Amino acid sequence: MTMLKYFLVSAAAVAGGALPSQSQASEWGCQVLLCLSGEWQGTPSCHPPIYKLIAAMKAPGFNWPTCPQANSSAARFEKYEDCPSGWQAVGSYDSDRPGMGQERDICRISADRLSLPVTFTNSRFGRDHDNGSRQAQIEIEGKLVRAKIQTTSSDRRSFAGDGSTYYTISRPMREKPWFIEYDDANGIHQKSWFNLNMP
Residue type, 55: A
Per-residue model confidence (pLDDT) at position 154: 52
Residue 21 has pLDDT above 60, yes or no: no
Residues 65, 131 contacting (CB under 8 angstroms): no
Selected residue with higher pLDDT from 130 and 198: 198
**pLDDT for the residue numbered 16:** 39
- Cα distances from 56 to residues 61, 107, 126, 169, in angstroms, run 9, 35, 48, 37
Asked if 185 and 156 sit in the same domain, the reply is no
Residue 110 lies inside a defined structural domain of this protein: yes
Domain that holds residue 39: 3-78+176-194
- The mean pLDDT of the chain is 79
185: pLDDT confidence band, cut at 50, 70 and 90?
Answer: confident
Q: Does 159 share its domain with 180?
A: no
> For residue 17, is it within any domain?
yes
Please check whether residues 124 and 148 belong to one and the same domain. yes
> What pTM, to 2 d.p., does this model score?
0.69
Residue 83 lies in a domain: no
Task: Assess if residue 199 is contained within a domain.
Answer: no
Order of strands across the sheet that contains 76-77: 76-77, 178-183, 189-194
Q: Are residues 182 and 148 in the same domain?
A: no
Instruction: Say whether both 103 and 51 belong to one domain.
Output: no
Confidence at residue 55, expressed as pLDDT on a 0 to 100 scale: 96
Q: 131 or 174: whose pLDDT is higher?
A: 174
**Do 35 and 71 sit in the same domain of this protein?**
yes
